[in-house]
Structure 1
C-alpha cells in the first residue's frame, strides 16, 4: 500500500511540536515537509525547535520552511514565548549544528512547489491558521486540485470559543484562535471545493492533558521522544491544556477512533463574532470530528512515543 503524502503546516505552539512528533512516528505517512506559520510563536525559535525535533527523531530528510504570512489578530505574547522555551530545552540542544534543512524559499512558495511536484494528491495537516494555505492558493490556484483534503484543528461550533473577552476586548468569546488570527484566509479556504475535516474545540474540550498522561510519559522517559513530550507538557500543565493538535493529527493514522459528522458551516469575518465558525444551513459542507475513543487515543500516543 502506498504511503499517504502529508504536508504539515503548524504555528509553533507547544502542541504543534507534539503533533509534529506524532506525525513523524506514523509508518504509513510520507511527510513532504513542514511549514511553520508565524502565529502562535516567534518564528525564529519556532523554526529552530522544529528542525531540532526532526534531528532528534532521525528525520532530517524532512525539509522545514518558514512562512512569511501575517494574520489580522496577533496571538498574545505570553502564548508565543513558549517557542523560546521549547527551542532551549536541553534535550534539543545536545548537538552543535542542526542537520534538518531550512529551505531558502518562503513557506507559502514551498507549499506551492510541494503540491505542484507531488506524484499524487496530498493531505494538508494544518494545526495553525489557514493563512499560508490561502496565500498558496492565491499564488497558484491550480494547486487546489492537488490537495486531497485538509485536516484542520480549528473552530468552535456549538461551544464557546477560546478567544476570551479579557484578552481580546470587544469580542463576544465565540471565536477559536486558529480562525481568529485570520478569519479572511479561513473564509478563502471555505470558498474552495477541497474536502475539510475539522477537529474543533467541541471535541478537544473533552480530551485534556492530564497529570496521569504526563506521569506515564515520565515512566517511559528512557525514550527521547517521551522525555521531550513530557517536558513540553510539564511547561503547560498549570493551565487548562487540551490535546488540540495531536488529536487532529492522530486522525491521519486512526480515523476509526473518531465519529465524524457532516455539518454546514460559515466563517464570520467581521464584527464581535469575528473568527467564529458557525453552523448554518446551506453553508459550506465540512466533516467534523464529533467523538473520539479517548482510551485508544491516549494509548496510541503513549505507544508511538515509546521509541
Structure 2
C-alpha cells in the first residue's frame, strides 16, 4: 500500500470513529424551565395564612407579591398588617404587599355599597374577627417598625404597581387566587394586554359536582350550590372565567377530602418543628376547638397553593367549559356551559397523602 493510500485509509477511519462517537453522544439535557413568578390574591383569612406560609416554602416558584382583597373576610388595615407580619415572621421582607378592593365589583361599578354578597360573612364571632386577629395568633408576629412595611394612609392599590412588576419580568407569570376574583377582574379591565402575560390562574373556588359551602350568621343558607369565594363576587368570577386566560380550578370537589380531624391534628402536634409549622398547627387546633362538631373546615387554600407549586399532587382532573351564575337563588354557582363557558381545568381529586406533604413542607427549614 502506498503512503497516499495509507493516508486516505487513516482519514476514513478517523471520520468513521468521529461519526460513531457523535451518534452515541448523549443528547444534552433540556435546560430547566424558568421558575414562574406567582402573584397571590388573598382575602387574608385563616386558611390563607397557612397557604401563604406553604407557598413561601417552595423553591420552584418565586412569590412576586401579595394582594389583600377585602370583598370577603378581612378588613383592609388588619389584612395588610397581618401580611406584613407574616412576611417578617418568615424573613421575607422582599415580598411586596398591595391593597385590593373592599367591595364586590358590581357594588363598586354601581356605587350601591349594599354588601349584598358580603352579608354571608359574620362579623363576630368568627368571620371577619377571626381573619383580622388570626384567632389572636397575630400577636406572635414580630413588631413592625419599618413605616413602608405597615399600613398607612395612601397605601398603594395594586393595579399600577402590579402592571409595572409584570412588565419588568422576562419569565412566566402565574396568579394564585385564594379569595374573590375582584382584583384580577379589574386588572384585566384596565390592562387587557396582561391577559397575554399570565400563563395560568390557579383558583380556590367553586363547587362543580358537589354542594356549596355558604353559611349565614343566622339561619341556614338559602343558596346550597355556591362556594364562598365565588359567591362573594360572582360577576368578577364570571368575567375571569370567560377571559380566555388558562384557569385551573381547585373546587370543593377536591378540598372536601382534606377536612380537619383530631387524628391529623394530633399527628401534626407530635411532629411540628419549625416556627411556621408550630404556628399553623396551633391555628388549626384553635379553629377545631372553637368550631361546631359538624363544621366542615378544610385545607382549602393550602391544597390550592400546593397544587400550583407541584402538579403531581393532582390525581384526577377534567377540562370543561365553565361559567358562573351571577344572580338569583343560585348566584355564585360554577356551571358547565358549552355555549358561553370557556375551558377550565377542574381538579377533582388530589393525593390522599397531602396531609403529610403539608406537614413535611412546613417543617422544612429551607425552601426546596
TM-score (norm 2): 0.77
Structure 2 equivalent of residue 51 of structure 1: 84
Matching of residue 291 in structure 1 with residue 349 in structure 2: yes
Deviation per residue, 1:110-152 (Å, 9 max, x gap):
3333333322331100000100000111111111111110000
In the superposition, relative to structure 1, how do residues 245 and 141 fare at CA in structure 2: closer, same or farther (>3 Å)?
same
Report runs of 4+ in structure 1 exceeding 6 Å deviation.
none
Aligned length: 306
* 1:15–1:244 CA contact under 8 A, matched in 2: yes
In the superposition, relative to structure 1, how do residues 186 and 130 fare at CA in structure 2: closer, same or farther (>3 Å)?
same
Shift of 1:69: 4.4
Work out the CA distance in 2 between the residues paired with 1:164 and 1:52.
29
Deviation per residue, 1:255-294 (Å, 9 max, x gap):
1121221012220001110111012334321000011111
Which of 307, 325, 330 aligns to 1:251? It is 307
Which of 25, 32, 45 aligns to 2:64? It is 32
Structure 2 equivalent of residue 80 of structure 1: 128
Shift of 1:194: 0.2
Deviation per residue, 1:144-197 (Å, 9 max, x gap):
111110000000111111124775878431111111111110111122110000
Shift of 1:299: 1.6
* 1:265–1:277 CA contact under 8 A, matched in 2: yes
* 1:60–1:100 CA contact under 8 A, matched in 2: no
* 1:54–1:100 CA contact under 8 A, matched in 2: no
Structure 2 equivalent of residue 184 of structure 1: 235
Matching of residue 160 in structure 1 with residue 211 in structure 2: yes
Matching of residue 136 in structure 1 with residue 187 in structure 2: yes
Structure 2 equivalent of residue 207 of structure 1: 258
Any idea what SS the aligned residue of 1:175 has? coil
Matching of residue 11 in structure 1 with residue 68 in structure 2: no
Any idea what SS the aligned residue of 1:138 has? helix
Larger Rg: 1 or 2?
A: 2
Which of 55, 79, 89 aligns to 2:137? It is 89
Unmatched 5+ stretches in structure 2: 1-31, 105-115
Deviation per residue, 1:17-57 (Å, 9 max, x gap):
11100000001111111101012112222211111111111
Work out the CA distance in 1 between the residues paired with 2:150 and 2:215.
35
Any idea what SS the aligned residue of 2:149 has? coil
Work out the CA distance in 2 between the residues paired with 1:120 and 1:272.
43
Work out the CA distance in 2 between the residues paired with 1:304 and 1:83.
23
In the superposition, relative to structure 1, how do residues 288 and 18 fare at CA in structure 2: closer, same or farther (>3 Å)?
same
Work out the CA distance in 1 between the residues paired with 2:168 and 2:256.
38
Shift of 1:100: 7.9
Q: Name whichever of 26-35 and 75-84 sits farther off.
A: 75-84
Q: Name whichever of 183-192 and 79-88 sits farther off.
A: 79-88
In the superposition, relative to structure 1, how do residues 233 and 110 fare at CA in structure 2: closer, same or farther (>3 Å)?
farther
Structure 1 equivalent of residue 224 of structure 2: 173
* 2:79–2:132 CA contact under 8 A, matched in 1: yes
Any idea what SS the aligned residue of 2:199 has? strand
Matching of residue 194 in structure 1 with residue 251 in structure 2: no
